[in-house]
A = this chain, B = another copy of it.
Amino acid sequence: MKIGFIGLGIMGGRMAHNLLTKGHDLIVYNRTPAKAAALMAEGAKWAETPADLAQKVDILFTMLSTPEVIQTLAANENGFLDALPKGALWVDCSTVNPGFARWMAAVAGARGVRFLDAPVAGTKGPAGSGDLIFLVGGNAEDLAQCRPLLDCMGKKIVYLGGAGNGAAMKMLFNLMLGNAMAAYSEALVLGEALGLSRQTVADVILDTPVAAPFLKMKQALIDQDEFEAHFPLRWMRKDLHLVAQTAYEKGVALPALNAVKEIYALAEKHGLGEKDFAAIYRYLAT
């Protein structure tokens, strides 16, 4: 079974590394070739174009930043979509809106290509250690086929039914993350203004059931004050935009989400887009 991997950023690079080091051959492609260097040193083969890669593989993983980028690499000149062999399996691990995931499933299906949306919960750390959670939509048999590969990259696989359902659940994760990070940042800023030290607030709140456990990791970023990106703020903004767009399409009102989305938008405008999304704290604090 020949495996291709397109998209070697913070997440994709680590995921591909785990496939390689657990014994799988890999053909890789990335728009910025330099990011493939480490993987090639580990034995990955390079493909000159997405199409080049696609025609050589049975399973294609994509881990890309936006629907627009996926569409470009899939369907533009030298795109992978028309090059994939009939019967191949395309597993998209990107975070996209469910509507786009269903579009991918449809265009793949129209070409005889099978499709799974398999976005992941977990950022840089779990991607590196192979502890991601895969949220999978599509055909259960297709999942069964690639499950051993997902097991190389993640610790848990949640099967959610038809195409787009993995993307749907991923929306909800990022809604929860983005909102909790904003709320906690507001709590810290208010607490400090009231004369409580940031350390005290963190110690008391993060140890109780009112705080999402992931915030402990983010507290470390806040304390270091560097906000090295595990999950860049501009991606969080993008994801919350996709959540808002999906809510619009489904006739759902999300007033809290939309308010939070705009705080990230302001923070990005103020130069924090490349920082971890925990930098929303810095935006609100200063």
A: residues with CB less than 8 A from B are 98, 121, 133, 135, 158, 160-162, 164-165, 168-169, 171-173, 175-177, 179-180, 182-184, 186-187, 189-191, 193-196, 200-201, 204-205, 208-214, 237, 241, 243-248, 250-263, 265-266, 268-269, 284
Contact = CB atoms under 8 A, between A and B. Distances in A.
B175 A252 contact: no
Contact of A187 (B172, B204, B248): B172
B259 A256 contact: yes
A150 B21 CA distance: 56
Contacts of A195: 161-162, 165, 168
A258 B259 contact: yes
A116 to B, nearest CB: 16
Q: Which label, helix, strand, loop or mixed, suits the secondary structure of the A interface?
A: helix
Nearest to A200: B160
Contact of A194 (B246, B248, B258, B284): B246
A160 B262 CA distance: 29
A241 B250 CA distance: 13
Contacts of A250: 190, 193-194
A158 B133 CA distance: 36
Given A176-B211, A201-B169, A186 B259 contact: no
B209 A190 contact: no
A131 to B, nearest CB: 11
24 contacts: A98-B194, A133-B208, A161-B196, A165-B196, A169-B196, A169-B201, A171-B190, A171-B194, A176-B187, A176-B211, A179-B182, A189-B252, A190-B243, A209-B212, A209-B214, A213-B213, A252-B265, A253-B284, A254-B262, A255-B259, A256-B256, A256-B260, A256-B263, A258-B259
A241 B258 CA distance: 11
State the oligomeric state as a number of copies.
4
A108 B259 CA distance: 37
A201 B183 contact: no
A262 B261 CA distance: 12
Contact of A205 (B173, B209, B259): B173
Given A210-B214, A256-B182, A175 B196 contact: no
Given A98-B194, A133-B208, A211-B212, 4 more contacts: A158-B204, A165-B195, A241-B248, A255-B266
Contacts of A214: 209-210
Contact of A121 (B191, B210, B253, B258): B210
A25 B284 CA distance: 49
A174 B82 CA distance: 41
A231 to B, nearest CB: 12
Nearest to A266: B253
